[in-house]
Amino acid sequence: MEIRKIQFKKSIKFLTLLLTAMIIATASASVYYSLTWQPKVTVTAIYVKFTSGSDTPAGSTVVDSWARLLLKSYPNATLTYEEGLNISNADTSDHLIRLRHVDITPAETNWDIGNFTRIKFYLICQNGTQATTFEYTTSGGNSWNEPSTTAYYLIPDGEEWTLKVETLSPATATAGKVADIEIALDIQE
């Protein structure tokens, strides 16, 4: 009889352990699961893009989605690029575009900033009207006055707009000083 009690106790303990393990496994299984998704990315043509203008400076790089303009600034004289860069809408639909400041160097509190008075961009519609301006200025010291993001402007299908650029440096500007500006052209599809 003693042997039966020992086996019964072992069986109960084993059964309890087995039930506990099953409850833990069931609870764990209900907490952990996976979701899957399968994005499909297709390369398409860029419809609103950069193109060279009649005043795009020599040595500049202009491709559909990126442009680097090698602009100059003269001491005490405004230099104007009437058609520094173009924005073309090659789509059959209208799109909204805006200009947004990203970065400018030299950074704040750098005395090289005093070599610039203003760098101004005019967004000109195909019909010659001015949509907006986007202007970097200095107070003659060591800080930039960065422009605010512009509103969105509708560029109709098939039109080409112009970015006119004006630069000006003070009479005391040092030759060879550089301002690197990064501006985003945001496009709503």
Same domain assignment for residues 166 and 91: yes
Q: What does the pLDDT look like over 13-50, one tens digit per residue?
A: 777 877 777 777 665 555 666 788 899 999 999 999 99
Asked whether residue 39 is domain-assigned, the answer is: no
Same domain assignment for residues 52 and 127: yes
Could you tell me the CATH number of the domain that includes residue 98? 2.60.40
Q: Which residue has the higher pLDDT, 108 or 149?
A: 149
Beta strands in 54-94 (DSSP E): 61-63, 66-68, 79-89
Range of the domain at 112: 48-188
Distance from C-alpha of 17 to C-alpha of 6, rounded to nearest angstrom: 16
What separation in angstroms does the CA of 37 have from each of 34, 40, 53, 178?
10, 10, 44, 47
The pLDDT value recorded for residue 160 is 98
Look at the chain and report how many structural domains it folds into.
2
Same domain assignment for residues 3 and 66: no
Same domain assignment for residues 25 and 64: no
Global pTM exceeds 0.75? yes
With cut-offs at 50, 70 and 90, classify the pLDDT of residue 6: low
Asked whether residue 38 is domain-assigned, the answer is: no
